[in-house]
Amino acid sequence: QLLEQKADALLKLEILTYEKHGRRLLGVSREALNRITTLALAYRLKKDERYLQQLEREMRSVCTFKDWNPSHFLDVAEMACAVALGLDWAGEYISPELSGMAKNALVEKALKPGIAASANNFWKGVDHNWNLVCNGGLAMAALVVFEDEPELSSAILHQAVETIPLALHPFAPSGVYPEGVSYWSYATAYLTLTISAFESALGTDFGFTDYPGIMESSNFSMLMAGPSGSYYNYF
């Protein structure tokens, strides 16, 4: 019922457009993720054609953006996650034309910029949330287009498996996350999505859940919540 309510509310909204706030497109990417996943899952469960039509309109719009703002690569990663999950969850229902457009957008606007030797891709060598979000979004995109672009997708997946461990070390030894609870939520949400995608598509999590503190970090999140419901947070 909650999912239906959310999907019904989305039917009343204007389609997303390319609108940066300062140097970021991140707000649009996050809203795309919210809308596309909600509509795709709602359609799978309810088969209400209105949800599929709105999903196609939203996906078509973001896939025709001039870019996904690689100068602030979180924007690319979250949009890639949105389109990849839309294709994975509803690809059998959307039109072949839109499916091709979406896969091309993932390749041109996410995977190619994500493999490039560029200062925008500093996140490959860091140990904080950018690593897990950017690698995660690209990895999901690579899995979705693998059959069409095996070489490029393989390069992206190898890059993810090689560099994600850099961002797993800060969880050690007991799960206390140095960026605080809100960034723990952001980073770990994408890590969880990535692990789930790897397990379902490839049958392995590449040992990520065995790193010290990863599984224990859920306790850190709970223990930082006060009786008021607010979190003790820091960065």
pLDDT digits (tens, 9 = 90+) for 186-212: 999 999 999 999 999 999 999 999 999
Of the candidates 169, 180, 162, the one whose C-alpha atom is nearest the C-alpha of residue 210 is 169
For residue range 106-128, list pLDDT tens digits in order.
Answer: 999 999 999 999 999 999 999 99
Q: For residue 96, what are its two tokens?
A: 């072949």
Taking CA atoms, 36 is separated from 83, 127, 133, 146, in Å, by 7, 29, 18, 21
**Count of CB atoms within 10 A of residue 63's CB?**
21
Question: Rounded CA gap, 57 and 17, in Å?
Answer: 11
pLDDT, mean of residues 15-32: 97
The tens digit of pLDDT for each residue in 46-58 reads 999 999 999 999 9
Query: pLDDT tens for residues 216-231?
Result: 999 998 899 988 888 8
Q: What CA–CA distance (Å, rounded) separates 7 from 72?
A: 29
Cis omega (within 30 of 0) for bond into 227: no
Kindly report, residue by residue over 128-181, the tens digit of the pLDDT: 999 999 999 999 999 999 999 999 999 999 999 999 999 999 999 999 999 999
Q: Give Cα separations from 21 to 69, 109, 196 (angstroms).
A: 11, 19, 32
Report which residue type is found at 130.
W
CB 226 within 8 A of CB 232: yes
Distance CA 208, CA 218 (A): 15
Tell me which DSSP letter residue 116 carries. S
Indicate if the pLDDT at residue 234 is higher than 80. no
Q: What is the pLDDT of residue 235?
A: 62
Q: What is the mean pLDDT of the chain?
A: 96
- CA proximity to 222, closest of 172, 188, 173: 188
Say what the pLDDT of residue 157 is: 98
pTM for the full model? 0.95
Residue 160, both tokens = 């993810």
Give the up-direction half-sphere exposure of residue 32: CA atoms within 13 A in the CB hemisphere.
31
Terminal alpha carbon distance of the chain: 37
Per-residue pLDDT at 233: 76
Instruction: Round to whole Å and give the CA distance between 129 and 123.
Output: 9
